[in-house]
Amino acid sequence: MYQIKEAKFNKSSAKVEHCPQDQLPEIAFIGRSNVGKSSLLNMLTGVKNLAKTSSTPGKTQLINHFMIDNKWHLVDLPGYGYAKVPLSEKAKWEKMTWNYILERPNLLYIFVLLDIRVSPQKIDLEFIKKLGENDIPLKLVFTKADKVKTMEGQKNIMDFREALSAEWQILPEYFITSAEKRTGKVELMGLIEEIIFPEY
């Protein structure tokens, strides 16, 4: 299994043009506020406080680049949906995020995080639909698998895939993860290795 040897914060940017100017490949992570993104990133990198975890939704407010093994960037994008901030602030985050997604040539893949405990959410379906319409490569990552009974989690995944099938002929691949139990790390790191190092 590919294991990250070094992960360190590189830069926070409020605009896509302020992002690192190198040509390193990037994989971005995004999800609804409070989906468990920071915990997952810390689990994948093995660095406990690389991404700051918070019980307050809307903690990530900038495009955060983390340098991985001096070879690629892991990008932590602001969450969408609920956050206790003014609508104007949320609109600004959304514009910044979509500018990055649509204009950043280094971006190879987006991992969209989804809370396995909840039934399909309109905001998630709409976000994924827009990625598809713009031909952005994506994978789905269901989080917090340790906090739900297996059958309930599987039902929510099936319901989500069924909701997607109204718009998608070929459904995006998905992963099931738990930051606490480290579930899904091997599978996700294997995929990241294929994306970043396709020649291996």
Residue 79 pLDDT = 82
* Residue 114 belongs to a domain: yes
* Residue 70 belongs to a domain: yes
Give the domain range for residue 67.
Answer: 7-196
* Residue 14 belongs to a domain: yes
* Residue 80 belongs to a domain: yes
Residue 191 pLDDT = 96
Residue 68 pLDDT = 97
Determine the Cα–Cα distance for residues 146 and 125; give it in Å rounded to an integer.
Answer: 23
Residue by residue, pLDDT tens for the chain (200 residues) are 899 999 999 999 999 999 999 999 999 999 998 899 999 999 999 998 888 765 555 556 899 999 999 999 999 998 887 666 778 877 888 899 999 999 999 999 999 999 999 999 999 999 999 999 999 999 999 999 999 999 999 999 999 999 999 999 999 999 999 999 999 999 999 999 999 998 76
Determine the Cα–Cα distance for residues 164 and 39; give it in Å rounded to an integer.
Answer: 26
The CATH number given to whatever domain includes residue 182 is 3.40.50.300
Residue 88 pLDDT = 81
Residue 32 is classified by DSSP as B
CA 25 to chain centre: 15
Residue 33 pLDDT = 83
* Residue 1 belongs to a domain: no
Contact between residue 66 and residue 74 where contact means Cβ atoms under 8 Å apart: yes
Residue 91 pLDDT = 84
| Domain count across the chain | 1
* 86, two tokens: 């003014």
* Residue 2 belongs to a domain: no
Contact between residue 125 and residue 165 where contact means Cβ atoms under 8 Å apart: no
The DSSP code sequence of 58-82 is T---SEEEEEETTTEEEEEPPPBS-
Residue 92 pLDDT = 85
* Residue 25 belongs to a domain: yes
